[in-house]
Amino acid sequence: IMNDGLTNQINNPEVDVDITRPDTFIRQQIMALRVMTNKLKNAYNGNDVNFQDTSDETSGSGSGSGCTDDICPTEFDFATTE
């Protein structure tokens, strides 16, 4: 049994690892997870945390009706099958 991480896998004969070329995408994901973990810990401890919303304007917020027109129907017709 080996420890976690690339540097600990050098002596593992079952894993072919090239530590001279670290995967930048994986490192970016690890950094993003660390940042988010710290933000969540701060929020849990009662500290103010700013989350940057990178989503579109219409996704994920609002009344949930899905209506984007100025005039929306107030009644819905439901079709049932017997």
pLDDT tier for residue 14 given thresholds of 50, 70 and 90 = confident
Q: Which of 37, 36, 41 is CA-nearest to residue 51?
A: 36
Does residue 32 sit within a domain? yes
Residue 77 to residues 12, 73, 80: CA-CA distances in angstroms? 63, 10, 10
pLDDT, tens digit, 9 for 90 and up, residues 50-81: 877 666 555 555 555 566 666 665 665 656 66
Mean pLDDT of 3-21: 75
* Residue 28 placed within a domain: yes
For the whole model, what pTM was predicted? 0.43
Q: Which domain holds residue 35?
A: 21-47
* Residue, of 12 and 40, whose pLDDT is higher: 40
Q: Is residue 14 part of a domain?
A: no
Q: Measured between alpha carbons, how far is 17 from 3 in angstroms, rounded to an integer?
A: 14
Q: Does 78 map to a domain?
A: no
Tell me whether residue 8 is in a domain: no
Q: What is the pLDDT of residue 17?
A: 74
Percentage of residues of the chain with pLDDT beyond 90? 21
Residue 35 lies in a domain: yes
| Average pLDDT of every residue of the chain | 73
Count of domains for the chain: 1
Is residue 40 in a domain? yes
